[in-house]
Amino acid sequence: MRALLARFPRLADSLPRAALQLRETPVEEWRVGGVTLLIKRDDLDTPLLGGNKARALELLLARVDPRRAVLTVGATGSTHALAVARHGAALGLRTQVITWPQETHVIADATAVRMRQLADVTPARSVAGAFLRAAWRRAVRRPHWIPAGGSTPLGALGHVDAALELVDQLARDERGLPDRIVLPLGSGGTTAGLLVGLAVAGARTQVVGVRVVPRLVGNRGHVLRLARRTRALLASLGGEPLPPLDPSRLVIEHGAYGSAYGRETAAAQRAAELLRAAGGPPLDGTYSAKAFAVALAHAQRAPDEGVIFWLTFDGRWLASPSDLTTSPGTR
């Protein structure tokens, strides 16, 4: 969290962090589909298992008593739950996951398999059922609770850091700030954190959240409420007033969802194939491929405007799945 701590030095003492080996992620320029766009490679933010969830978990897994289990919820192919399980294991923690069914695809299936190898997984019949089971365990067994997606004001501070990191990187590289950042919108923590971080930096960049979850979860009101709570937490911990949020900087793109969580779309598949053909990283059909399709469309419609695609999915482990299941002591 170098960028955030440099901007708010008081956080060094007031913000405990777990040792997840987080590192600055590169900004790469790619020529895809006849246009050039930038990709923020947040899939590479830890050597173990990257992706956007690691930034939140650095804060959400700090100072957890190893005698307590860590509990979270997610869909059967939840990359959030997988990240909790893997990073929890690296810290010597036991993870329990309560899942609900989703439409599936190859990567979601592989994620579910790895999750079962790393965590105690309990299937529920529905989202409501999963949350009811979780509420019972929290009341009776007192685990360390991490909400779905890790999208709390504390977790979102990790993405405030990411936004400030991006601004610093572009300044070092003598690049201008982008007109828009495009990323998947699930539980909203990454989108909310980026909004706050860009406001702190004085950037006028538009944040385009590509909805990949039902509208009940992925909506403007939810993201802005989380952003305001994150801003309030940062102001309190940082000990100084912050610039106001500009709600007009947030755009929600609803058209890429595909009518069901986890359902792959033809546009997303085509976009993912174009990136792979250009030598780029793999994308998943639930989140990143849908967002990349929107980012690519923006770049094609307005090639003179700057677009950054925020890559939240780490596909490295798919090539070497044993790396994900190796115990921390034998790495």
- 211-239 pLDDT, tens digit per residue, is 999 999 999 999 999 999 999 999 999 99
- pLDDT confidence bin for 322, thresholds 50/70/90: low
- pLDDT confidence bin for 258, thresholds 50/70/90: very high
pLDDT tens digits, one per residue of 310-321: 999 999 988 776
Domains of the chain, by residue range, sit at 2-51+151-317, 54-150
The residue type of 283 is L
Q: Which residues is 73 bridged to in the sheet? A: 98
Question: Is pLDDT of 104 > 50?
Answer: yes
- pLDDT confidence bin for 325, thresholds 50/70/90: low
Question: Is pLDDT of 328 > 70?
Answer: no
Question: May I ask the CATH class of domain 54-150?
Answer: alpha beta
Confidence at residue 321, expressed as pLDDT on a 0 to 100 scale: 66
CATH of 2-51+151-317, one of 3.40.50.1100, 2.40.50.140, 3.30.420.40, 3.40.50.1110: 3.40.50.1100
Question: Is pLDDT of 327 > 80?
Answer: no
**Alpha-helical regions (H) of the chain:** 2-7, 11-14, 52-60, 79-90, 106-118, 127-141, 153-172, 189-201, 220-238, 266-277, 288-301, 316-319, 322-325
Report the chain's mean pLDDT, rounded to a whole number.
Answer: 94
What is the spatial distance between Cα 187 and Cα 206, in angstroms, rounded to a whole number?
19
Strand, helix or coil for residue 86 = helix
pLDDT tens digits, one per residue of 30-43: 999 999 999 999 99
User: Fold match between 2-51+151-317 and 54-150?
Assistant: yes
Strand, helix or coil for residue 1 = coil
| Residue 268 burial class via C-beta count within 10 angstroms: exposed 0-12, middle 13-18, buried 19 and up | buried
Q: What is the reported pTM?
A: 0.95
pLDDT tens digits, one per residue of 168-226: 999 999 999 999 999 999 999 999 999 999 999 999 999 999 999 999 999 999 999 99
pLDDT tens digits, one per residue of 243-254: 999 999 999 999
